[in-house]
Chain A
Amino acid sequence: MSVQLILYPQSFDGTSNPLSGNVYEFVSNGLSFTALDTATSYDSSAANASLDVLTNEPPSIVNTWYRFRSTSTGTPSLPTVTSGNLVLNSTTTTTLSGIYQRLSNLTVGQQYTFTINISTPAANGNIVVGAFNGTSPLGNYFFAASLSQITHSFTATSTDNTIMISYFNSVANNVTISSISVQPSAVAASGAIQLLDNGQVICDLYEDEDIPLTLSVDDFKNVAEQIQSYSKAFNLPATKRNNLIFNQMYEITRSDDGIIFNPYVKTQCVLKQDGFLLFEGYMRMIDVSDKEGEISYNVNLYSEVTALADVLKDRTFSDLDFTELTHDYTYANIRNSWQGILALTNPLQAGTFAGTVGASTTGVLKYPFVDWNHQFPVSSLGNPQLPNLESAFRPWVNMKYLVDMIFDAPDTPFTYTSSFLDGSEFNDLYMDFNWGSENTPVEIDITTFNGFYVPTYTTSGGFNYATTTYSVMELSPQPIPYIGGATPPNYNDTTKIITSTVVNEGYDIDYTYSIENIDTVDRTIECQWLYNSTPINSSGVQTLAANGGTYNYTGNLNQIMFNVGDTLQVQFRTNTGTASKVRQADCSGLICDTADVVFNVNAEAVTTNTILQTLRGELGQWDFLKGIMTLFNLVTLIDPDNPNNLLIETYGDVFITGTGAGTTLASRGISHDWTDKIDISQMKLEPLTDLNKKTIFKFVEDDDDFCFRRYKEQVGGHLYGSKKWDASAFTVLTGEEEIIAEPFAATVCAPLMPQYSDFLIPKMYASSDDETEGFENSPRIMYTNGVHDLTSCTYSVPAQNGVAGDAFEDEYLRFSHLSEVPTLSNTTDFNFGECQLAQGLGNSPTRNMFNTFWLPYYAELYNPNTRTMTIKVALTPGDIATFKFNDNVMIKNREFRVNKIDYKPNDLATVEFILIG
């Protein structure tokens, strides 16, 4: 046996074959054709029916059958299923009918073979077998329908080529197909390369190539970084086999034709020795060297977590699709969110993490009361007043939901399992999706209203006459009997003026006002639109002919109402003359309208784009995950049963706890006894003298955050939420290190104002020159403490977006960095360390992030008995394959943890053990 480096095709996403028990089968539902009777169908009248079908009814859902038939010269029955067999039908005219399916997980460049078993052949006609890349045919082939089996090969040009099986006949004679299969062809196109399952290939290695591996999941001594397994760079010879695998990368005339080895694409690989799996990860092509004609490919191997970082590091939250969270931004809905029943615009679809499929509410987005800009006037009753909803209520999204969305993205080849992330505490954490310093959601929902004027149906009950001074033209109160209609909510039926109740409300108005002259002499008319009393559009002076002359003031108007209280109105006036002669037009007694105005009103709502196009859309996905890992001291391990699944747990759960009780090693969770394997001829024990004397655990410092800055100034520079670990007793140590839960910042929680002692809320606003305002804050993590009933005050909420507010609201959704407010003995503080809390919050809990997640590790790290022991160990490939880095190892009479293994096949491994004090 030997060392084998096995590469997967670059298009391989880690899933062998999710469709069937047969790892080679790529057709879904090709044996019993379940529910094909009711599959989506399309009737094509085009001459080229197959192209027409793929264009107009594309197989948007992979691994699902679609049906079609031609109707240009006759209409056969759609494909049906009888006794688990597919029946393709024909009629007495030339027709085509068939089924098609978009496959998945194909390997580009791999040849695949159709196999179609026909249980009841037809004496005439043809079975047409084709493959397509989108709508581009890879080839259509005709086979006699009288055959009992049809086989045909095609080479995949994408991972999701579409196959189509159709029946072409001009005689009414159905054909019955018992199964359809697509499997990889046994032989590659060139016949020169040996393929394993899923297109894997085994690379040629240099003679006695023993690839040195450094295996590790987390360097015990390096607090800030998690070092993963990797190999040193090594060479692969340019043998014929390797040349085929790497497509002659050394050849400078080589050009990318879409199916060649791409050094910019990760290549999944496994390294085996004597059949044992040593390493599973990715191979990176570093360079190709040609030295006196001897060509070598220089590569190295690296592990999964590194690859996860690679996958995510360029992605931001704007790459995630939060469309399903779209909802109306109204006070009623904000209150819904407090109860976890935020009403969504659309029901949740399959695959959602926001709740139950089909549900129209969600609990993953909440609107807690947060002091975003600290601009709350106090009423005469001494209660705070909200000038608008945005000053207190901005969206926070559940952390677990965000993690799930990141891992569920189509291009993320990993899943995860984590009892910590699935735990109840983490599930109650939310991250703010503030939209920055401006109180303006970007995206808006447009609502259309159509108002009319009917002279016999007005507020005054009579005609609206123009005078020599401007007066408003009006619309009738809506709806009008027999006509209907609706004016916008902010249109006042009495004043006929639109008054904005929310900032940046937009109006797109298509208007037609008809004015008539019933005087016996010519008159003039002049119309205008006014925004905040300023003309923004004018008709100019128009002449109305005597005795019934009319003029239509018509056009389109776009106006943003920048502030609450801004007004919009349309006016008219006439020249001097007999009064009550020029008016909004009549209909000669008929029930009809003489003004028709369409208002397209932009009413705000929080949508996906609102969230993403502002601040949080710029947040990197990997930064987000890394911040969580730092805050909770999480460690990632590769799932031994599934290399594409990451196990994410806290350091303590992985390395420290978990040992059981009992007299045997196994019962105490020590799974390895390497006593007889160590080479005692040379051993090195090292104290961890390169540790830092001081370590500061902290969040990102949001310098614009007034409360955070003020707290720092008042307590002598201590950062809110931080923890200092001081090992001054270890006098040999020097240096200082910072552990920063970047990108998250700490949030000061305090009463909204000192006089409201139980109105405890997160506070984050900027302040300068006694002016307070919102700012583009770093992401915050807060825990939901539930709805709190206020006793110290009530607060008023204005009407906004067409929904009433509440003048005496007496409850709010409370968020804080504490699991209970006020704190109890077992309260969790999601800050790193203890600090003086604001009045009303209680005593600073000891169950904080440092004490819970970092102290067990630091207690071991800064222990005078802790040392590293480096020793050679006679490890076999089997030992490596079965070893997990959270396994503890018994050697002689002590238990050790393994920090790092330098493993070289066929040699003694150098192992760095941690002897825990």
Chain B
Amino acid sequence: MATIIEQKPLYTTLPSGQDIIFAVSNSLIVTTELNVRFVAEVYVSSELPAQTGNLIGTFKATPNNKGVGIFNLRPVLESYVKSDNLSRGASSSSTGSSYKGVQNFDLSPRILHVVDQYSGASNILRWVLVKFKTEYLDKDEYLANGVTPNPNYNTLVKVQPQNSQWLKVFNGYLKSTDELTQGNTTSNATPQAVNFGYNTSKFHLTSSTKQFLTNAPATQYANLEDYGTIGILMLEPIYSGQNTNGFYKLYFKYYDASGSLLNEESMVATTGTGANAYADRQLAIYRVLYAGIYPANLRSDGSTMFAGLIAAGTIQGGYYTVQARRQDDSLISQPYTINVNCPTLKGYAPIRLCWLNQWGVWDYYTFTMKSTRMLSTKGSTYQQLAGSWNDSAYRLDSFRGGKKAFRVNATEKISMNTDFVNESESEWFEELINSPEVYILEGFQDDVTDSALNQYVTPVRLTTSSYTRKTIANDKLMQYTFEVEKSKTLRTQSI
């Protein structure tokens, strides 16, 4: 009797932050053999089919009171997916993404947020396969013929493997309010009834209501200098002759301040624009696609249309929409509107934060109101010996002696304010508070030749530790203040 997978994740695409439960049984062996354990060999791969060399661990569970072994692979698998901070570079086998029209390479990848058009995702998603076996202590001295000595006598043997489906695990998590679904609950006898999971179909780009990988409000605000990307979960491969329903392009419509359409253009996802070809469908790196859709990305992505609108001064104060389409122009995502802020007249320096959102990709928000920066230093001092002792004669050396700084480390804290926000934005900010990765993202600027682009992203830690969700009913006008601290201290000279 084979090892039976009694319970498994309901969906094959799932965030790593949800409980990834498998329950397996083997009633024949459990009832007849000694020292029975269920074994789960977990394979993680960036490519399908995975090579056997990608075995990342073997796990064992003891049969419970019902003779079933239950595994939760979440604590293991969440280590194998992580955020993408760099765009994909070109390698010998594929074309990479680009920045300001210059291709990125594997050896010198650039930060993701400033990418032109598209980029694959190196880290966010992995293929996972679990091979379940049943292990027991073989106490049979002889084989079935009763004569031949059993070579496995008194050893642990693993038998009857049963493979799970291939899962696509990505770097997301679930909130307690995210509704889970179960399998067929109409019949108690249906095995799938106990399977559960989070349905990611809202990210499956098939109709005009579907979403990119974000909970952000569909209406965003950005300055002309603001960079940013959206993440697209590619539940099916990109458009090709073999897959005509696949995602084909992002479609941009530009409007002026009065709402009049200025122009429109497509950003087609091809190998040349940093997306993938159909042949790459088995690569995990193209199962999530990043697209630079914010004004600064559009200014430098090779298309002259948006730059032309800026030059003409028509887009300022206006807005544009972006929406995913198939090759036949049918709409497969909801439209996202990005309002282009007018240059502030109050002189506030805008601060753009980006943070890892619930689904493992990046959300952005530009704080356009008052912000303050506070520099604090921390250091040690020591009392130095006065005078010169290691010379031909003692010299007074007035600069010597007294309390000296051993080191000076400066830390910068920044307090920033939002403009008035609506309730959906208020709810969205909770992800900022909860995010493990937050950065300050600098805006569009001219770079020096061969710039390392290190100036664009500054890691910060949100020091605002409590957050009160405001509502119009309670608070009328809603405004928030956040405080961040730059993660890296400024190292000065050591004495």
Contacts and interface: CB of A to CB of B under 8 A. Distances in A.
A678 interface: yes
A753 interface: no
A191 B123 contact: yes
A623 B60 CA distance: 41
A839 to B, nearest CB: 59
B385 A189 contact: no
A908 B382 contact: yes
Contact of A874 (B54, B71, B123, B406): B406
Interface string B387-400: 00110000000001
B296 interface: no
Interface string B96-128: 000000000000000000000000001100100
Interface string B376-419: 00001011110001100000000010011011010000000000
A580 B36 CA distance: 80
Interface in B113-162: 122-123, 126
Interface in A243-258: 243-244, 247-248, 250-251, 253-257
B278 to A, nearest CB: 22
B59 A255 contact: yes
B64 to A, nearest CB: 13
A407 to B, nearest CB: 36
B80 A675 contact: no
Contacts of A255: 39, 57-60
B56 interface: yes
A872 B79 CA distance: 42
A379 interface: no
Interface in A790-833: none
A405 interface: no
A904 to B, nearest CB: 10
B385 A675 contact: yes
Nearest to B494: A876
Nearest to B83: A240
Nearest to B394: A893
B491 A260 contact: no
Given A676-B385, A678-B385, A906-B407, A251 B390 contact: no
A291 interface: no
Interface string A673-686: 10111111100000
Contacts of A260: 57
B390 A673 contact: yes
B81 to A, nearest CB: 8
Given A189-B53, A676-B384, A248 B389 contact: no
A255 B39 CA distance: 9
A271 to B, nearest CB: 19
Q: What band does the interface of chain A fall in when counting residues whose beta carbon is under 8 Å from B? A: 35 or more
Interface string A650-671: 0000000000000001000000
Query: Interface on chain A toward B: helix, strand, loop, or mixed SS?
Result: loop
Given A247-B57, A251-B59, A255-B59, A680 B80 contact: no
A222 interface: no
Contact of A192 (B61, B79, B382, B390): B79
A892 B53 contact: no
A874 B78 CA distance: 42
Interface string B470-495: 00000000000000000000010011
Contact of A253 (B55, B59, B404, B409): B59
A446 interface: no
A617 B40 CA distance: 45
B383 A681 contact: yes
A248 B79 contact: yes
B46 interface: yes
B382 A675 contact: no
Nearest to A189: B54
Nearest to A673: B390
Interface centre among A111, A153, A244, A251 (most CB of B within 10 A): A251
Contact of B79 (A154, A244, A665, A681): A244
A83 interface: no
Given A244-B79, A257-B55, A908 B406 contact: yes
A136 to B, nearest CB: 14
A679 B39 contact: no
Contact of B80 (A192, A251, A256, A908): A192
A890 interface: yes
A460 interface: no
A130 to B, nearest CB: 14
B28 interface: no
Contacts of B56: 189-190
A703 interface: no
B295 to A, nearest CB: 33
A908 B126 CA distance: 46
Given A665-B390, A681-B383, A874 B53 contact: no
Contacts of B406: 874, 907-908
A114 to B, nearest CB: 14
A244 B42 CA distance: 13
Contact of B82 (A240, A876, A907): A240
A61 interface: no
B75 interface: yes
B58 to A, nearest CB: 4
A722 interface: no
Given A1-B491, A890-B390, A250 B75 contact: yes
Contacts of A1: 491
Contacts of A330: none
B46 A191 contact: yes
B76 interface: yes
B400 A254 contact: no
Contacts of B409: 906
B389 A892 contact: yes
Interface in A863-887: 872, 874, 876
Contacts of A673: 390
Given A190-B44, A665-B390, A907 B380 contact: yes
Contacts of B40: 253
B80 A244 contact: yes
Contacts of A253: 40, 59-61, 71
Interface in B72-94: 75-76, 78-82
A190 to B, nearest CB: 5
B57 A155 contact: no
Interface string A332-364: 000000000000000000000000000000000
A191 B60 contact: no
Given A248-B75, A251-B76, A676-B400, A192 B82 contact: yes
B153 to A, nearest CB: 22
A111 B53 contact: yes
A679 B382 contact: yes
B55 A681 contact: no
Contact of B57 (A250, A257, A676): A257
A243 B39 CA distance: 20
Interface centre among A154, A189, A876 (most CB of B within 10 A): A189
A680 B380 contact: no
Nearest to B38: A253
A538 B58 CA distance: 67
A185 to B, nearest CB: 10
Nearest to B285: A191
A1 B409 CA distance: 12
Given A189-B53, A240-B80, A892-B389, 16 more contacts: A1-B491, A111-B53, A190-B44, A190-B46, A243-B79, A251-B76, A254-B58, A255-B39, A255-B57, A257-B57, A257-B58, A665-B390, A673-B390, A675-B390, A874-B495, A906-B409
20 contacts: A1-B491, A153-B53, A155-B53, A189-B44, A189-B54, A190-B46, A190-B80, A191-B123, A192-B80, A240-B80, A240-B82, A248-B75, A248-B79, A251-B75, A673-B390, A678-B382, A680-B384, A874-B404, A892-B389, A893-B389
Interface of B: 39-41, 44-46, 53-61, 71, 75-76, 78-82, 122-123, 126, 380, 382-385, 389-390, 400, 403-404, 406-407, 409, 491, 494-495
The 4 closest A-B pairs by CB, nearest first: A679-B382, A681-B383, A243-B79, A253-B59
